[in-house]
Amino acid sequence: MIKPQTLKGFRDFLPEEARKRSYVIKILSRTFESFGFEPLETPALEYAEVLLGKYGTEGDKLLYRFKDRGDRDIALRYDQTVPLARVVAQYSNHLPTPFKRYQIQPVWRAENTQKGRYREFLQCDADIVGSAHPIADSETIAVAAYALKSLGFSTFQILINNRQHFSYEYIKTDFDIPSDKLPFIIRAVDKLAKVGPEEVKKEITTLEFSLEEAGAILEGIQGIKPCPDLQAVLDLLPKWNLPQEWYRFDPTLARGLDYYTGMIFEAVIPDYTAGSVCGGGRYDNLIGMFTEKSIPAVGFAFGFDRLIDALETLGLFPDYIHSSPSQVLVTVFSEPVLLHSLSLFQKLREHEIVSELYELPSYSLDKQLKYANRKGIPYVAIIGPDEAKNGTVTLKHLPTRTQKTLSIEKIIEELKKQKT
């Protein structure tokens, strides 16, 4: 006997969860398409060299990487941005310029598992490849915002920054910050929203700064004014009809991935504190790793599990997600009247009343009612020997525990009324 189990960090999605996922995917795809983004799919497996060296040394370690039977060094997709860069280099003559694509596929990371962190998870990306203009940066932010709105979030905030700010030019302090210490400082300041200013300062002091200097550094970063590139992006946002309260400049936002070069952003939902639900930015050098041409790009990804969790936490999923779409379960009373039930099912189908026939592990009506309850099917139709003889159906409404026996035509009429 083989133990039925899943690997740590990997999940099965039973019907209700799977329906939630489809629902979110549908809304995101529709939003992306309404801005002219087209779908793209790339393989789960890539040559390892395509992925290596793009995500920082930490990222490289998290790749699911192995040798195939042909001794090729291969790895599972780690994100969707690097595969996009490869695609753009590989098919440059077959793609429109700019190339606006969305992509919704799983990625795999050998992370330490913990609450809300998985080894297989879905990403939902939208990117604009081939435009360096701030209009493209502003559009990706607008798309993220409208997608959140379409999902039903009424309050959210997009935090926006630019990687260029992390240099001496922008951080005003009375003393010099050695350049090798900047990356560490940035990583410390990035945690500000999560751990608070005292913790951030304490972390900076481990770099041979006094607490006072650490405070000055944090203040210096908090006091940064947007660079002209970012200001141009910020100025465009109201033109996409984004209300002021949907976004703000945040000089402490850093984001982890190595490949960002300019504007970066993240979306947070104030009523949902588990973390940001999307992040992205401009990465003008990544595609150049695959082709001689320099091709600018900007985009973002939704963290799908966070979105699902946030929608769940805030009660934003529509009710119908929680049960099977079937409106009626056609039960089977006994073998002799089975064909009457099947015929009723066919008639309901013809009238586009979503139904299903009970597939007969048992003739027990109790078990059939339990089946309807478990799937959340509100009506059960029963045809016993009497109903079969009289051409009628007994229709039970489970939520109200009421029932009536009517002709098949009347039952169909009744169910059609319920549908609307």
Residue from 47, 168, 184, 320 in contact with a second copy (CB under 8 A): 47
How far is Cα 385 from Cα 336, in angstroms, rounded to an integer?
8
Residue from 41, 169, 271, 312 in contact with a second copy (CB under 8 A): 41
Q: Which CB sits closer to a second copy, 130 or 280? A: 130
Tokens at residue 333, please? 């009373």
Q: Which CB sits closer to a second copy, 241 or 407? A: 241
CA 93 to chain centre: 30
Q: Considering the rule CB under 8 A, would residue 43 count as an interface residue with a second copy?
A: yes
Identity of the residue numbered 80: Q
Output the smallest distance, CB 191 to a second copy, in A. 27
Q: Which of residues 267-306 bind a second copy (CB under 8 A)?
A: 289-292
Q: Of 21, 15, 26, nearest to 376 (Cα)?
A: 15
Q: H-helix or E-strand containing 82?
A: helix 81-90
Q: Of 92, 95, 82, nearest to 289 (Cα)?
A: 82
Tokens at residue 340, please? 């009457």
Q: Which CB sits closer to a second copy, 19 or 201? A: 19
Q: Which CB sits closer to a second copy, 90 or 206? A: 90
Q: Which of residues 177-196 bind a second copy (CB under 8 A)?
A: none
Q: Which CB sits closer to a second copy, 193 or 289? A: 289
Q: Considering the rule CB under 8 A, would residue 44 count as an interface residue with a second copy?
A: yes
Q: Which CB sits closer to a second copy, 13 or 168? A: 13
Q: Considering the rule CB under 8 A, would residue 232 count as an interface residue with a second copy?
A: no
Q: Which of residues 92-151 bind a second copy (CB under 8 A)?
A: 94-98, 100-101, 106, 108, 110, 120, 128, 130-133, 135-136, 139
Within 10 angstroms of residue 315's Cβ, the number of other Cβ atoms is 7
Q: Which CB sits closer to a second copy, 180 or 292? A: 292
The backbone torsions φ and ψ at residue 208, rounded to the nearest 5 degrees and listed phi first, read: 65, 30
Q: Considering the rule CB under 8 A, would residue 27 count as an interface residue with a second copy?
A: no
Q: Which of residues 61-90 bind a second copy (CB under 8 A)?
A: 64, 66-70, 72, 74, 76, 86-87, 89-90
Tokens at residue 279, please? 């992040």
Q: Which of residues 371-410 bind a second copy (CB under 8 A)?
A: 371, 374-375
Q: Which CB sits closer to a second copy, 207 or 354? A: 354
Q: Which of residues 324-343 bind a second copy (CB under 8 A)?
A: 324-326, 329, 332, 338-339, 342-343
Query: Which residue is it, tokens 């302090």?
Result: 173
Residue from 58, 176, 245, 359 in contact with a second copy (CB under 8 A): 359
Sign of CA dihedral 50, 51, 55, 59: negative
Residue from 117, 202, 349, 416 in contact with a second copy (CB under 8 A): 349
How far is Cα 374 from Cα 401, in angstroms, rounded to an integer?
16
Residues 6+ apart with CB under 8 A from 179: 168
Q: Which CB sits closer to a second copy, 182 or 369? A: 369
Within 13 A of 135's CA, how many CA atoms are on the CB side?
6
Residues 6+ apart with CB under 8 A from 172: 220, 223, 224
With contacts defined by CB under 8 A, how many residues of the chain interact with a second copy?
A: 99
How far is Cα 408 from Cα 190, in angstroms, rounded to an integer?
65
Output the smallest distance, CB 38 to a second copy, in A. 4
Residue from 155, 167, 210, 346 in contact with a second copy (CB under 8 A): 346
CA 318 to chain centre: 17
